[in-house]
Every structure is written in structure tokens, then in C-alpha cells.
Amino acid sequence: MGSLVQELDVVNQDVDKSVECFFVAGNDEAKFALQEATDGKECNLVTNDVIDRETTARYDLTISVRYRTSRKKRQRTLCPQHQ
């Protein structure tokens, strides 16, 4: 588990933004995981469980990519009105 299967090169048009990779289909048994590369510009496909070629010879995975949005959490303090 945790073995690198494939480095996924992402064509990132906006070099200032990090990307987020996610499974669209094919990972129903959660045999794989996607890890963000240290630079935030690529993703790595890694094993998340034991892979046995004699049991399953092929996995068809569909992976998509989107820009990671950095939404700042807003904190609001409400003070009761004094009467």
C-alpha cells in the first residue's frame, strides 16, 4: 500500500494555482488514492490496498483535475443587543 503507480502530469494553464485531482469513476473498491505532489501542480496515483493481478487484471480509472480554490473561512461574532 502507498506504492506509486503513476505520476500524473497535469497541463496547468495557470501556473500560480494548485490543482486537485479526483476520481470520477473506476475506484469503487478504493484500491487507489490520489496524492497531491509537493509542488501542488501534479498528482500521484498510489495504491490504497493490495493489488493482485491474478484477481483483477485491469483497472479502468477516470480521473479529473480542477484548480484548487482557496476559500477563506469567514468568522462572524454576533453580540446580543443590550436592552
Mean pLDDT (whole number) for 56-68: 91
pLDDT in tens, 4-51: 999 988 876 677 778 889 999 999 999 999 998 877 778 999 999 999
Res 83: pLDDT: 46
Copy the grid coordinates of residue 52. Answer: 493482485
Kindly tell me if the per-residue pLDDT of 59 is higher than 70: yes
Burial class (CB in 10 A: 0-12, 13-18, 19+), 73: exposed
User: In terms of Cα–Cα distance, which of 50, 43, 1, 49 is closest to 23?
Assistant: 43
